[in-house]
Amino acid sequence: MESEALKNVRTIRQVRTSLYVARSQKFRTTNSLSRRKEEIEYLASLSDRQLERVLAKERARFAAFDASVKRGRQRVLRARERLAVTINRNRALTELRQELQRARWEGRDPALSKAEQPAEQPGLHQIELIY
């Protein structure tokens, strides 16, 4: 049994707009209709003497633009690196400050290491029961 799926579905890349078709067509004027085939070939073969210079200038302009884009991307990357360093430093400082505050609330001396901490003593909101 054959598939019932649509077979000739065109994607947006396959559809040619009227603007695209118009740009690719050769326009026909009254003057161009009266030309012979040899004349058309001769006129098409003519080239500007300065064409190579114009093309070289355009290549140089394009290369300069690419170099400018590359420099801009490198500047953005360096700025992001500096920002990442600042963010990481602030994150580490925040974690340290939170740890110090936790230690203060738990009654530990934050300057001492965990091994040097004294035994727990009753602090605020703790009642020591003596029998």
8 assigned to some structural domain:
no
117 assigned to some structural domain:
no
pLDDT band at 19 (very low <50, low <70, confident <90, very high): confident
- The reported pLDDT for the residue numbered 131 is 60
pLDDT band at 112 (very low <50, low <70, confident <90, very high): low
Q: Containing domain of residue 57, as a range? A: 18-106
Distance CA 46, CA 7 (A): 47
53 assigned to some structural domain:
yes
DSSP assignment of 91-124, as one string?
HHHHHHHHHHHHHHHHT--TTS-STTPPPP---T
77 assigned to some structural domain:
yes
pLDDT band at 70 (very low <50, low <70, confident <90, very high): very high
Domain count, the chain: 1
- Decide if pLDDT at 125 tops 90: no
Range of lowest pLDDT (1-15, 39-53, 89-103, 108-122): 108-122
68 assigned to some structural domain:
yes
- The reported pLDDT for the residue numbered 78 is 95
| pTM: predicted TM-score of the whole model, two decimal places | 0.45
Stretch 92-108: mean pLDDT: 90
- Decide if pLDDT at 76 tops 80: yes
Name the CA dihedral angle for 52, 54, 55, 59, rounded to a multiple of 10 degrees.
130
